[in-house]
Structure 1
Amino acid sequence: MKKTGKLMMVLALGILMNLTGCSKKIVEGPRIGVIQLMEHTSLNMIYDSFKEELEALGYKDGENCTLVFKNAQGEQSNIGSIVSSFQSEKLDVVVAIATPTAQSAAKLAETTPVIFSAVTDPIEAGLTTSLEHPDQNITGTSDEVAVEQILDLALQLQPDLKTLGMVYNVGEVNSQTNIAKAKVAAEKRGLTVMEAPVANTSEVAQAVQVLSEKCDALFSPNDNTVATAMSTVTQITRSAQIPVYVGADSMVMDGGTATIGINYVDLGKETARMVDQVLQGTDVSAIPVKVFNQNLSIYVNADALEELQLTLPDSVAADPQLVLLNDPQ
């Protein structure tokens, strides 16, 4: 009985310690909430570089600040649940990665500054009415897609390109904006466009298969749904001997043929700097949205070139902004 009594006392003490928080370290400092739309290379690069830059700025998770990271796994219902939970988290700032996430997180801006990352068109997304003077307690970084330059690159790689297939999620505002631009740019260049909008990742394979049978090449902007399915896109298009031009460097890393654009690591770092400004007391309205549309690089997948039997023109091969990438191993 004595042994049983001692055991009960130990168990009770353990439970008491857990209930009173004695076993949990209390971290002094700012609390930073982060919502990421889903898992894919672009968004992962943003979050990883965001964390690294925060550390470089002196914010160390678990030591002098707390990062509350949530991944919505591509489900809109999950985003809503995360936003609701963040309303009671007493956060100092919220970071929303990707357009759909930022749109849902906007309601938090009534009480908490919101910094978005990788939002193609913040005004069209309803996050602000001005890039220079954000007016809804929301600002951030924009990954504007160089649509016309990407199509020009496609024509350099494929001078006989006539029919361009476009695959994208019709529910993503960022994709709607870029596809509208791409259609205008394609018409100017005498290209025929075929569209295959999708609603989710499971529809991507069939859409790509259909377009690959009818088009000379495919184009997808910085579409989160397509980016998540790039391994499938690559498998189908390589088999059909069809290049796929994309809106993000990470999509080239995942098998896309080529793009012209920004480095998403830079996007993540700048997002961290904006968070630092807010935590240092700068009003959100004094932090302009930063649109990444200068000093763009040419990203080309060398494995895709070889398998598709494409040759880089001398002007592209000699460009100092050329970055050759390979398929993921």
Structure 2
Amino acid sequence: MKKFLSIVLSILMCAAIFTGCGGNSEGGNTDGQSSGESVKIGIIKIVEHSSLNTIEQSIIDRLEELGYKDGENAEISCMSAQNDSTTIPLMMDKFVADGYDIVVAISTPVATAAMNYSSQIPVVFSAVSDPVAANLTTSLEKPDKNITGTSDSVPVEKIIDMALELTPDIKTFGFIYNSGEDSSVANIERAKAYCEEKGLSYVEANVENSTAIQQAAESLVTKCDAVFSPTDNTVAEGMSILSQICKDAKIPCYVGADSLVQDGGFASIGITYEDLGIETANMVDKVLKGTSISDIPVMVFEDLYTYVNTTTADAIGVELSDEILNSDKTVIFE
């Protein structure tokens, strides 16, 4: 069930997507909520793209398995900031005013904005690369700002090592990201440091919005041997454009998330975003059942997988080894 809402505050209008998030109507354990009880769960993501959509849907599905059924014993409302962080406080104001029990903040920009409301409503975040650097908590083990959640820390160094193994002729990396996204900047700084350690050169392209990707990417591929983009929301929004430009140039595009490989990137190492959503929902359940957020450590995933897109590999002329293709730790997209 989808409903669209325009939030107007004075002369400021937020073109946010506001949806009643419904899971599947069948099955599910109802231990989460007993008959007659109802909870309000708000979900905000920074923008619509594959990674965040996967997390959101996984959260909704897992919540239903836990007994929180939208339209029955729960009201689950989803909003998208449409990549405009100035609208997030308006969404949080609405959730607080409407008496919501908890908010799920998907991505670093949403989490940092939602934290300002954590004294009024508990917040569980998802897909935050570095919660400490984002000032969401001073401790991963003991969250201290009424906000906790799941981290999608990008194994930048492992991705670069994989790139050098799969495409060993790389001398120069091209980094494409939005310098306005703190988590992207942090990951790119790590990539720069590791490239310097490895004796590799790098060039950069900053994209302030997804419409800038085409021009930036077309220029970038003329200056590098491989492209790397972290879990950048702006790039993710225009991943189909970036991946096609890289394929046309016969240049591998390494990325920081599995969904970006699914969207045409060449390869990545990392977590599964479906699992990220599941564990985020499990945390929501704990909070709603009375567990203090300070007793729910931030979860950083250590079980990593390799993701490769074989259609992209064929397009850029890279032959993947049987060892990679047949590994239990490899996920293949076509």
Do the two structures share a fold, i.e. TM-score over 0.5?
yes
Residue in structure 2 matched with residue 11 of structure 1 by the alignment: none
Give SS of 1:267's match. Answer: helix
- Please tell me the residue identity of whatever aligns with 2:75: T
Structure 2 residue 157 is matched with structure 1 residue 148: yes
Residue in structure 1 matched with residue 55 of structure 2 by the alignment: 46
Residue in structure 1 matched with residue 135 of structure 2 by the alignment: 126
Report how far residue 87 of structure 1 moved.
2.5
Structure 2 residue 311 is matched with structure 1 residue 306: no
Q: Deviations for 1:236-281, whole angstroms, at most 9, x for unmatched residues?
A: 1111111100000000000000000110000000000000000000
Report how far residue 32 of structure 1 moved.
0.7
Give SS of 1:115's match. Answer: strand
Report how far residue 314 of structure 1 moved.
4.5
Report how far residue 166 of structure 1 moved.
0.2
Residue in structure 2 matched with residue 282 of structure 1 by the alignment: 291
Q: Deviations for 1:79-135, whole angstroms, at most 9, x for unmatched residues?
A: 232122222121111100000011111111011110000000111111111100000
Report how far residue 144 of structure 1 moved.
0.5
Note if contact 2:254-2:265 (Cα within 8 Å) is conserved in structure 1. Answer: yes
Note if contact 1:255-1:301 (Cα within 8 Å) is conserved in structure 2. Answer: yes
Structure 2: which 5+ residue stretches go unaligned? 1-35
Report how far residue 210 of structure 1 moved.
1.1
**Does 198-207 or 97-106 show the bigger shift?**
198-207
Note if contact 2:325-2:332 (Cα within 8 Å) is conserved in structure 1. Answer: no
**Cα distance between partner residues in 1 of 2:298 and 2:154:** 16
**Cα distance between partner residues in 2 of 1:34 and 1:320:** 33
Note if contact 1:222-1:248 (Cα within 8 Å) is conserved in structure 2. Answer: yes
Report how far residue 28 of structure 1 moved.
4.5
Note if contact 1:257-1:301 (Cα within 8 Å) is conserved in structure 2. Answer: yes
Q: How does 1:91-130 map to 2 (within 5 A)?
A: 91-130=100-139
Residue in structure 2 matched with residue 17 of structure 1 by the alignment: none
Report how far residue 235 of structure 1 moved.
1.6
**Does 141-150 or 196-205 show the bigger shift?**
196-205
Structure 1: which 5+ residue stretches go unaligned? 1-26
Note if contact 1:36-1:72 (Cα within 8 Å) is conserved in structure 2. Answer: yes
**Cα distance between partner residues in 2 of 1:56 and 1:240:** 45
**Cα distance between partner residues in 1 of 2:92 and 2:121:** 12
Q: How does 1:9-48 map to 2 (within 5 A)?
A: 28-48=37-57
Structure 2 residue 67 is matched with structure 1 residue 58: yes
Task: Give the alignment partner of residue 180 of structure 2, picking from 171, 179, 200.
Answer: 171
**Cα distance between partner residues in 2 of 1:319 and 1:69:** 37
**Does 260-269 or 63-72 show the bigger shift?**
63-72
RMSD value, Cα: 1.1
Note if contact 1:141-1:267 (Cα within 8 Å) is conserved in structure 2. Answer: yes
Matched length? 299
- Please tell me the residue identity of whatever aligns with 2:289: Q
Note if contact 1:156-1:313 (Cα within 8 Å) is conserved in structure 2. Answer: no
Give SS of 1:206's match. Answer: helix
Report how far residue 316 of structure 1 moved.
2.4
**Cα distance between partner residues in 1 of 2:206 and 2:89:** 24
Residue in structure 1 matched with residue 166 of structure 2 by the alignment: 157
**Cα distance between partner residues in 1 of 2:89 and 2:144:** 23
TM-score when normalising by structure 1: 0.89
Moved runs in structure 1, 4+ residues, more than 3 A? none
**Does 70-79 or 301-310 show the bigger shift?**
70-79
**Cα distance between partner residues in 2 of 1:287 and 1:80:** 25
Q: How does 1:174-253 map to 2 (within 5 A)?
A: 174-253=183-262
Structure 2 residue 297 is matched with structure 1 residue 291: no
Report how far residue 42 of structure 1 moved.
0.3
Residue in structure 2 matched with residue 22 of structure 1 by the alignment: none
**Cα distance between partner residues in 2 of 1:263 and 1:180:** 24
Q: Return the index of the structure with the highest Cα Rg.
A: 1
